[in-house]
Amino acid sequence: MKLYHGTNAENALMIIADGFIRGPVFLSSSVEVAEQYGGERAVVFSVDVADEDLLVDFDLPVATLLSVIEAASYLNDDSLDIVDIVELGHSVGTIGSVYSFSENSGRQVEL
Over residues 32-44, the pLDDT tens digits come to 999 998 888 899 9
User: What integer pLDDT is reported at residue 102 of this predicted model?
Assistant: 72
Report yes or no on whether pTM surpasses 0.75.
Answer: yes
Is 111 contained in some domain? Answer: no
pLDDT band at 66 (very low <50, low <70, confident <90, very high): very high
Whether the predicted pLDDT of 73 surpasses 90: yes
Is 108 contained in some domain? Answer: no
Q: Say which amino acid occupies 63.
A: A
User: What integer pLDDT is reported at residue 103 of this predicted model?
Assistant: 61
Check which CATH number belongs to the domain holding 66 and give it: 3.20.170
- Domain extent for 24: 2-103
Over residues 11-30, the pLDDT tens digits come to 999 998 898 999 999 999 99
Is 86 contained in some domain? Answer: yes
Cα of 53 vs its chain's centroid, Å = 12
The DSSP string of 14-44 is HHHHHTSBPSSEEEBS-HHHHHHHH-TT-EE
